[in-house]
Amino acid sequence: MKYCILFCAVLIAFSTAAQAQSVGFGVQGDIVNFNFAGDLKEVYSLGYGGGAHVDFHLGFVSLRLSGDYLLLTPDAAKVAELAGSVPGVTIDGLKITAISGNLNLKVPLIPLPVVSIYATGGGGVVYLKATDATVLYQGSPVTTVKAPDPQTKAALNAGAGADFSLGGVTLYAELKVNWILTEGETSTMVPLGTVGITF
């Protein structure tokens, strides 16, 4: 049901965007911090990624359709600690990738000539995938722990940012909190220092 609602929202957004005054295209880079529960919280630090976006300017407000690819790699030293620091034993894998697509509304709060502070919020979907964990002894595989099956989940987000207009180019910096609606618990990831450029 939630995916049906999301699909309808995207259709409405594109119908509205057809009447947009102008359209902008751009790219962005992300640094993210996933909020894991239990021991995994100590294994993963910051992740990174990037993507592209399309802005539909609708007078005072605008819509941003964006897609991002994010990668989290575990810290080798912390993985070794989690494994008990057995001599000669290492763990490979455990990488997590997230591919997301979001539709956000941007509302200017302080629209100045060069700098515009804005609030943003919206929703989308996130595809999550993890690699298997392989236990090695002196470089030789001993056993493999299967990763959970890939999941596609709905997500919501809210945050704020700033646009810096430089002629025909706009630079922006943004901070958002994203809620991934997973089963059991809702995961939270915070993109930190998200920066982009729109043409």
Give the pairing type, strands 133-137 and 151-166. Answer: unpaired
For residue range 116-148, list pLDDT tens digits in order. 999 999 999 999 998 888 887 777 887 888 888
Mean pLDDT of the 152-160 span: 95
Query: Does the pLDDT at position 12 exceed 50?
Result: no
**Per-residue confidence (pLDDT) for residue 184, from 0 to 100:** 65
**Per-residue confidence (pLDDT) for residue 49, from 0 to 100:** 96
Distance CA 156, CA 123 (A): 4
CB 100 within 8 A of CB 129: no
Is CATH 2.40.160.20 the right assignment for the domain spanning 2-198? Answer: yes
CB 66 within 8 A of CB 196: no
Query: Does the pLDDT at position 36 exceed 90?
Result: no
> Which residues, at least 6 apart from 171, have a Cβ–Cβ distance to it below 8 Å?
163, 164, 195, 196, 197
DSSP secondary structure code for residue 167 in this structure:
T
Sheet architecture: strand order including 89-93: 89-93, 133-137, 140-145
For residue range 161-182, list pLDDT tens digits in order. 999 999 889 999 999 999 988 7
Query: Does the pLDDT at position 63 exceed 70?
Result: yes
